[in-house]
Structure 1
Amino acid sequence: MTHFKTLIATVLATTTLGSTAYAEELRMSWWGGDSRHEATQAALQVCGESLGHTIKPEFTGWSGHFEKVATQLAGGTEADIMQINWPWLPIFSKNGDGFADLRNFSDTIDLSQWSDEELEASTRNGALNGLPASVSGRIFFFNKTTFDKAGLAIPTTFEDLMAAGPIFAEKLGDNYYPLEGIGLDASLLIQMVVTQQTGKSFINPETNEVQWSKEDLQAGLNMYQAMVENHVIKAWPDMAAAGNVALHENADWTSGKIGGSYQWDTTFFKISDPLSEGQELVPAGLLRVEGAQNDGVYRKPSMVFSISANSPNQQAAAEVLNCMLTQPSGIDAMGSARGVPSSDVAATQLLENGGIQQIQVDAQNMVMGADAPAISPYNEDPDVRAGIEDTLELFAYGELDSADASEEILMLVNEALEDK
């Protein structure tokens, strides 16, 4: 009798749910904008229906999401599936046990769709803590319409960019600039320059130690100041006086008065859609400084999908992730709401059916084709970022010179890394 009941249960499960042996109620959390919310909910519905699971969506904007996840993880109330910012992995999973090891579900999730490099970037202490949704990197984007108006070709070297500043002022007016750069944009622009000059990334991803000297960092700060003085970048205080609004909401950007930006390749439509009619934004890759040892690309998983280490439904969560990231129906529903997918099969499918536009692929190829040493997730640790950006602001306002600012940044960053 027992054998008969087991057999009947098995038959019912396989005929009702396909390859899924049981139905579960799951939760998934993420941050994003309206388009990402809509796409993800559509994917959850499609995958839930095909697998027999019910997945409750929990989504927010970017602001406050880190704090929300931190509170949930501390209390053991997190969702079964979570979209996690890549730099948060060492914060929430220092020893690799903060999230489930997805290699334990390799018979469910087709891990072959990600490169070894992509999987390694999301691995902590030997445990695969997340699947990269996409790989993102910083490249230059320029408003071709504005550069045409100034009689200039799109810059291909840092020297071209520096030369454009005075020409913009002369031909278009003092309120036109080839580039913008404050806050995080300034920080990563300086890091690109110093990485090119030294051949080393800021923080060694293996040892979590700063690799630059005070002199290395000072050279990067001096380069940034030269860009301000040469009318390449609008001064930080002047940008702040205008309200410090996000780039895509800045009237100088949308009208073409700011001719370029150093941004994540995945933000192309976010920054191009608000441009006034008739303007054309183009990706330009990385611009090398004189004597550069590499491209200085800042490349990382933009975000990862993780499964809670505390979830009682890890197998079901793995089935949902596999559907969303490697199966045709899930891929179509998710689309390119998180950029060009890292999953090979997803990227191929979306490119073939028009789910990704060619310009997104072009920008992604610029990121993937550029060279530079690997970066550490601690580059974006909240304390590390605060130490860099707060000091940069003091430097930009003239309260610290480049020597003192370099010394202050190194002190604050080393202090932040002491307990990592």
Structure 2
Amino acid sequence: MKLKMTILATLMAATSLSVANAADLRMSWWGGNSRHEATQEALKYCGEKLGHTIAPEFTSWNGHLAKVTVQLAGGTEADIMQINWPWLPLFTKDGTGFADLNDYKDIIDLSQWSESELAATSVKGHLQGLPLSITGRVPWFNKTTFDKAGLPLPKSWDDLLAAAKVFQEKLGDGYYPYEATGLTSHGLDARGLIRAYIVQKKGVTMIDPDTLALNFTKEDFVDGLNLYKTFSDEKVIVPWKTVAAAGANVPLHEDPKWADGRIAGTYQWDTTYHKIADPMKEGQELVPAPILKNADATNDGVFRKPSMLFSISKNSENPKAAAEVVNCLLTDTGATDILGTTRGIPASKVAFKHLMDKGAIEPILLKAHNLVLDASGPAISAYFDHPKVEEAFGDAIEMFAYGELTAEEAADEIVMGINEALEKERK
């Protein structure tokens, strides 16, 4: 009888403790249907395991920044948030915008991330989020089109220029070995090409991550703009004016010229394989390639960053419970099975090993990911994606592409615009 009473008391104490520690939490994120479904299932799994209830709040990419901005301004944000890495300067300039996850190192296994990965998501020593994956841009080529032209895949910018001439001779005027316009997001792909080329030659990143100084000179931008003009004139890429005149203000994966192989190369994130490969017509083979660079390059100029992170609200009433959920989502193998690669290849060591051991990471995704991790290049600043920096850089490229500015004039506009944006952030 005494034994029964002891067992009963133990069970009641455990139940009481579970109820006492239970928390009602909210988590917000953006994504597509596959991410939405997997995350909701993972939250249910972690919630049941930990005794918490987590209400999901999810949207598409469009409008998510505006939503989070309003919530943070009003103190109504979710306990756990998926945050885009370049948003850190917007929300936590001094490192106090989110909870410092260093305070919960007894709950979250921070050893699953390298020192450099944790440093990338820290602001003034405060860990503002955990990187979900490390991503970067690599060249992707339609091998079928290059085979049709009788060419190997390019290894340098010079190879790309030479390929354009062969494409014109053997395939016709409507074929291009690369794309770098990006009419949306202030010429995103054009900026990517120019920036990579300058970083390779100069050996430094565009914006110093510590001082917020602009490392590129007017002469550097002139050099990059002239490369862009050469590529446009020689039909390496579809000229900006041609794209605009056709009204083709559409993402690459929706462009029919990409789908049928008339545009045979691009510079995109390693995680975008399915997004850009799925629309391609049957028989087209898309492959990742090492970063293009000429013989005078000092480094690969890889554009590598945390793709996104999980942050905890500094206003959360249950930050320890939120930390438990974050740890479960990122280090628990059961949650890893559910989430898979819906947010890219995991940065968490245990999650990555688990998926590798199961053969759950597609070889082509792993190849592209390794190209990013193995490439060299200086650390980048989250300010590269600051709205005012994007605007100054992209608007000048557009005016240059239309012939309204010379390379020198456009470079002056870029330097002035970026410096003005950074000066405000340094104050």
* TM-score under structure 1 length normalisation: 0.95
Q: 1:211 Cα deviation (Å)?
A: 0.7
- Which residue of structure 2 aligns with residue 362 of structure 1? 367
Q: How does 1:197-346 map to 2 (within 5 A)?
A: 197-242=201-246, 243-346=248-351
Tell whether the 8 Å contact from 1:388 to 1:413 is kept in structure 2 after alignment: yes
Taking the aligned partners of 2:339 and 2:98, their CA distance within structure 1 comes to 23
The reply to whether residue 145 of structure 1 matches residue 158 of structure 2 is no
Counterpart amino acid of residue 313 in structure 1: N
- Give matches, 1:65-214, under 5 Å: 65-182=64-181, 183-214=187-218
In the TM superposition, what is the alpha-carbon distance from 1:41 to its structure 2 partner?
1.1
Which of 388, 409, 412 is 2:393 aligned to? 388
The answer to whether the aligner puts 1:352 opposite 2:357 as a matched pair is: yes
Q: Secondary structure at the match of 1:418?
A: helix
Asked if the contact 1:192/1:298 (under 8 Å) is kept, the reply is yes
Q: Secondary structure at the match of 1:392?
A: helix
CA deviation profile, 1:141-171 (whole Å, cap 9, x unmatched): 0000010011001111221111100111111
CA distance in structure 2 between the partners assigned to 1:30 and 1:238 by the alignment = 37
2:130 aligned partner, one-letter code: L
Tell me the SS of whatever aligns to 2:198: helix
1:11 corresponds to 2:28: no
The residue type paired with residue 255 of structure 1 is D
After superposition, the Cα gap between the structure-2 partners of 1:9 and 1:397, relative to the gap in structure 1 and judged at 3 Å, is farther
Secondary structure of 1:263's partner? strand
Amino acid at match of 2:308: M
C-alpha distance in 2, partners of 1:184/1:9?
A: 59
In the TM superposition, what is the alpha-carbon distance from 1:11 to its structure 2 partner? 2.7
Amino acid at match of 1:67: A
Which residue pairs with 1:43 in the alignment? 42
Q: Are 2:380 and 1:375 aligned? A: yes
Q: By how many angstroms is 1:51 displaced?
A: 1.1
Deviation at 1:264, TM superposition (A): 0.7
Alpha-carbon distance in structure 2 between the residues aligned to 1:251 and 1:354 = 33
1:290 and 1:219 map into 2 onto residues whose CA distance is 16
Q: CA deviation at 1:13?
A: 4.8
Q: Which letter does structure 2 place at the counterpart of 1:396?
A: A
For 1:239 and 1:38, locate their aligned partners in 2 and report how far apart those are by CA, in whole Å: 36
Mapped to 2, the partners of 1:185 and 1:347 lie a distance apart of: 29
1:119 maps to a residue whose letter is L
Number of aligned residues: 411
Q: Structure 1 residues 13 and 240, CA, compared in 2 at 3 Å: closer, same or farther?
A: farther
> For residues 55 and 384 of structure 1, what CA distance do their matches in structure 2 show?
37
| Structure 2 unmatched ranges of 5 or more | 1-8, 182-186
Q: Which residue of structure 1 aligns with residue 53 of structure 2?
A: 54
Which stretches in structure 1 are left out of the alignment for 5+ residues? 1-5
Secondary structure at the counterpart of residue 21 of structure 2: coil
Identity of aligned residues (%): 55
Q: TM-score, normalised by structure 2?
A: 0.94
The aligned amino acid for 1:93 is: T
Match of 2:421 in 1: 416
Contact 1:351/1:357 (CA < 8 Å) preserved in 2?
Answer: no
What's the CA shift for 1:368? 0.6
- Structure 2 counterpart of 1:187, one-letter code: R
Pairwise CA distance, 1:351: 2.0
Partner amino acid for 1:147? Answer: F
Deviation at 1:212, TM superposition (A): 1.0
